[in-house]
Amino acid sequence: MMTAMASLQAQIFDMLQHSQYWPVAKLRAYQESQLAQLIAHARKEVPFYEGRLDILFDHSGAIDWSRWPEVPVLTRAELRDHGKEICARRLPQGHGVVRDAATSGSTGVPVCLRQNDLYKQSTLTAGSRFAQWAGVLPDMTFASLAPHFPDHLPPDVNVHTLPIRDPAIRGSGRRLLLRRTLPAPALLDVIAAEGVQALGGNVVLLEILARVNLKRARPLRFSAVMFFGVEVDPAQRRIIGESFGARCTDTYSSEETGRIAGQCEHGSYHINAEQMLVEIVGKDNRPVQPGQEGRVLVTPFLLTSQPLIRYEIGDLAVAGNACSCGRTLPTIDRLTGRQFPLFLGPDGTRIPPLFDHEAIVATLDCKAYQIAQTTPLALELRYIPDGEVSKAAFDHLRTLIRAVMPAGTSVVFREVDSLPDPTGRKIQRLVREFQIP
């Protein structure tokens, strides 16, 4: 028997299959109706928004949408410092229970999140639509190199089978999580043993696997490869596609706001516009023109437990034009500022910097941090303190970080007032500050 939540997911998925082709005017009207409900809820139930949204209303109490660009942008620092004030006292009926989450984000600024069930289920269903676009069929075995492998599993267990709750998956379809900290050759062996047909993960790790795969006696082949997490450059896309013989597509998401956009068969990033408003804005906080770069602001409609209205997620993107695939969802031409580098060993070996950022955030009482590789055998963790850190905590962090790097790597900690941003575009959580000759 289908549960109430599974039934709701099925309804959402069915809607998304149709709404991606809605006329633009219908989609805009739908977004405004969703925004209006979120705004009313935030003004009534969320202390942070009391008075903050008044600028939207005219003398009759109606919303004047032309004034939307005047609504203050919500920054990550505000979410960090006023998280409790942004939480709702009550939720709308049917929006489910609230669960706590946390993220350090690509900028290394830790924030606490509160996410309600309806929001979580809807964004998961949007992910199913993106997977469908990528060519991941319902009856395939799809494996994800997830950053958070279940802690309760013993260290010799490298595969976790997810329960099938997704209405888009049926028949023999399987969804797996893989322990991505395995050495690349061993990870490829696990993937082969499980009969994986489609693979998803961070592009940095997928690039490592692709290079190792080319050296296998029988290289693995997949129907589809999906990228998560950071910007993908053409060279990475090419070597991964050639190694695995797969169609490669990218998805765009954040832990705070869920699934933001996914690539269609034509390469455009289509925004998940039925579930959120995404704005690409200039210095004046107004939308840029297609082809221009701007800051990304996101407003998820169903995140009622901790409404994020015009939330600046710290990314840069180039606004896109209408896509010839036929979908009417607005587009992003390309993402910028989300890439992080491979670290390099003394012999030039590429090292994916897969540090346990949740553990770092939990141990290091800080407002923000950055890990820099300053030489092949030296790392510097820079942090903006938010409290005292014990010697035992530093020792524990040093052990965690060294586990990812070659033997003999030194780790030093440096307290700073601000994090360096040599590009002037976006502070990066991971940086490599040298080149191999």
pLDDT tens digits for range 118-157:
999 999 899 989 999 999 988 899 999 877 788 889 989 9
Q: Report pLDDT for 305.
A: 97
**Confidence label for 207 from pLDDT (cuts 50, 70 and 90):** confident
The DSSP code for 14 is: H
Given a cut of 80, whether residue 210 has pLDDT beyond it is yes
Q: Which tokens belong to 143? A: 């494996």
* Residue range 283-336, pLDDT digits in tens: 999 999 999 999 999 999 999 999 999 999 888 899 999 999 999 999 999 887
Q: What residues form DSSP beta bridges with 198?
A: 142, 224
CA dist., res. 192 & res. 132, Å (int): 23
**Residue 155 host element (H or E):** none
Strands 247-254 and 224-228: parallel
**For residue 385, is pLDDT > 80?**
yes
Picking from 292, 353, 361, the residue whose alpha carbon sits closest to that of residue 320 is 292
Structure confidence at residue 268 (pLDDT): 93
CA distances from 282 to 56, 69, 189, 294, 320 (A): 20, 11, 47, 5, 15
Element (H, E) at 193: helix 184-193
> How many CB atoms neighbour CB 405 within 10 A?
20
For residue range 392-418, what is the model confidence (pLDDT) as tens digits? 999 999 999 999 899 999 999 999 887
Is residue 143 within 8 A of residue 176, CB to CB? The reply is yes
pLDDT over threshold 60, residue 240: yes
Distance in angstroms (rounded) separating the CA atoms of residues 97 and 232: 36
DSSP letter, residue 74: B
User: In this predicted structure, what is the pLDDT of residue 176?
Assistant: 94
Q: What angle do CA 265, 122, 9 make, to 5 degrees?
A: 95
pLDDT surpassing 80 at residue 358: no
CA distance 353 to 181: 10
What are the start-end ranges of the H helices in 317-373? Answer: 357-363
Query: Which residues touch 404 (CB under 8 Å, ≥6 apart)?
Result: 351, 353, 354, 355
3-state secondary structure at position 227: strand
Amino acid at 329: L
Residue 389, H or E segment: none
In Å, how far are 1, 87, 120, 319 from 68, measured between CA atoms? 44, 22, 26, 19
Question: Residue 319 forms beta bridges with which residues?
Answer: 332
